[in-house]
Every structure is written in structure tokens, then in C-alpha cells.
Amino acid sequence: MRETLKSCMGCLNRNHLHYAARCTGQLHKTQERMNKVSENKMTMIYATLAACAKFVATWTGLVAFKNAHDELVANMKSIEDASETQELNMKGAALDKRFKRDAMTQKTIVMAHALFAYAEDTNDIVLREKANLSEGDLTKKRDAIVAQLCQGISNLATALGASLVDYGVTAAEITGLQSAIDNYVAVVTAPRNATTVRKGATAEINTLMKDSMKILNNRMDKLMPEFKESKPEFYQEYFDARIVVDATGSSKKEEVKKAA
């Protein structure tokens, strides 16, 4: 995703079809993280940039147009970065929590089985029932509850200490279980924090989209009459690209009024 802007800028002096293909591939990834309205506008902006890339020699000498174009490209790069932030923060936090939960659960089950065997040998019915846990029992529990159950097993093992050595439980393993629990508890709120980050990225995208539309409507569109007679094919392709098409399957289009 981070390579998109480089690809777009690098393609300005290459075949415009290659540029459009690269942008289309990036668009498919970006669209997955944006609402439908933004998708439609992003499609239009990429198409407009592709049209501009095809005729770069025509407009590059018009400084005001070039400045607006470059700002638009920079906005697209920022939108892509913010979109990536949305995805990676949520996936990364959730994946980290899952790995730490799995580690905690596995250590807890091993410890619980040792405690169960010890309770059986000592005829400690209460301890046996407390230690009677399966992996399935922990898997179906909510985040906070599974941590409490695992902590309960850790507390029992800590209290018995050396008594569990004959059952394959060392002091290091008891410490390891507690560390796994602590690590899991520390990341339980991470997805919620990631949601906050994601909301911030969404707000940034919305702001950038508004600014991008302003660049198009109030600057680039207004300068296009410069090319209406001197380069009519660029003028036509630019405004064809500026049509915002509803990507949901509807035939409705948002027509862009051509500058006189």
C-alpha cells in the first residue's frame, strides 16, 4: 500500500494504462476499508489522476494546476496510510491477544491437570473440582472470565509450590503461568484501544477526502478551460473521469459540471 504514491508518480512519464492498472490494484485494497461513498469518490479520484498522467506534458507547465495535482496526489498517499492504519491496528491487536490467550490457556491446562492428579492422590475433592478444567472450558469463556479462571489455577499452584514437583511442576513453570496471565491481561484492552486509533484514522480520511474534493472542484476543474480548445481530448477525458459512479450497482451517476 505504501508503494502506491511512488507508483503513481513514477508512472507519470510512462504509459498511462500501466499507471491506471497499478492504481486500480491499490484501489481494490483501499476500498475494503472505506464506506461506499468514499469508495465512489476514491474511484473517481484515481481515474482523474490516471487521465492527468496520460496528458502530463499538456498541463505540467500550468503551475497552478500542477500544484493542485501534486496536493491531490499527496492527499491520496495520506488516505492510503490512514486506511492501512485502520486495518493493521485492529488486526495486529486482535492477533496479539489471541496468541497470548492461547499461550495462557495451554499453560493453565497443563497446570490444572497436575493439580487434578495431586488432588486425586490426596483425596482433596474441593481441589479436584477446582482443577477440573478442559481446554474447551477456557476457549468458550469471555476475555475477563478466562483470565480469572487461569488466575485461580495459578493461585492454587503457587500455594502448593514444591508439593507439585512430583507431578512435573517446577517453580519456573508456576512463574511462567503467572507471566502468561499477566501478558494476556495487559493486551485484553488492546483491541479497544485500537478501535480508538481506527476512529482517529477514519476522521483523518474524511478530512482528507473533503480537502481532495475541494482541490478538484475549486482548483483543478476551474483551470480545465485552459485546455478545452488547445487539448480537447484531455479536457474530455478529465471530465469523463470526474464522474462519480455509484459502485453499489445502481446506474445513478453524480455528474460534474464542466467549467465553462
Q: For 23-39, what is each residue's pLDDT tens digit?
A: 445 544 544 445 677 78
Taking only Cα atoms into account, the Rg of the chain, rounded to an integer number of angstroms, comes to: 29
What's the pLDDT score for residue 257? 61
Is 111 a member of any domain?
A: yes
- Are residues 68 and 15 both part of a single domain? yes
Is 201 a member of any domain?
A: no
- Are residues 102 and 182 both part of a single domain? yes
Helix (H) / strand (E) containing 245: strand 244-245
Is 55 a member of any domain?
A: yes
Domain boundary among 191, 225, 242: 191
Give tens-digit pLDDT for 151-185.
999 999 999 999 999 999 999 999 999 999 999 98
Handedness of CA 105, 111, 117, 122 (dihedral sign): negative
- Are residues 21 and 83 both part of a single domain? yes
Statement: residue 11 has pLDDT above 50: no
Burial of 7 (0-12, 13-18, 19+ CB in 10 A): middle
Residues 6+ apart with CB under 8 A from 133: 108, 109, 112, 149, 153
Name the residue range of residue 32's domain: 4-90+216-254
Cβ–Cβ < 8 Å for 134, 116: no
Is 126 a member of any domain?
A: yes
Backbone angles phi, psi at 55, to 5 degrees: -115, 30
- Are residues 239 and 171 both part of a single domain? no
- Are residues 248 and 167 both part of a single domain? no
What's the pLDDT score for residue 198? 65
Q: Which residue type occupies 244?
A: V
The predicted model gives 123-139 an average pLDDT of 92
What's the pLDDT score for residue 87? 64
Burial of 246 (0-12, 13-18, 19+ CB in 10 A): middle
What is the domain count for the chain?
A: 2
Is 23 a member of any domain?
A: yes
The predicted model gives 208-213 an average pLDDT of 94
- Are residues 110 and 178 both part of a single domain? yes
Confidence of residue 8 (pLDDT cuts 50, 70, 90): very low
- Are residues 108 and 61 both part of a single domain? no
- Are residues 78 and 111 both part of a single domain? no
- Are residues 158 and 172 both part of a single domain? yes
Confidence of residue 2 (pLDDT cuts 50, 70, 90): very low
Is 210 a member of any domain?
A: no
- Are residues 144 and 179 both part of a single domain? yes
Regarding pTM above 0.85, the answer is no
Statement: residue 71 has pLDDT above 70: yes
Computed over every residue of the chain, the mean pLDDT equals 81
- Are residues 171 and 100 both part of a single domain? yes
Is 209 a member of any domain?
A: no
Confidence of residue 10 (pLDDT cuts 50, 70, 90): very low
Domain boundary among 157, 176, 191: 191
- With residues binned 3-state (H G I as helix, E B as strand, rest as coil), the percentages for the chain, rounded to 5, are 80, 0, 20
Confidence of residue 135 (pLDDT cuts 50, 70, 90): confident
Among the ranges given (85-94, 114-123, 198-207, 233-242), the one the predictor scored with the smallest mean pLDDT? 85-94
- Are residues 69 and 142 both part of a single domain? no
C-alpha cell at 185: 491481561
Statement: residue 49 has pLDDT above 90: yes
Is 196 a member of any domain?
A: no
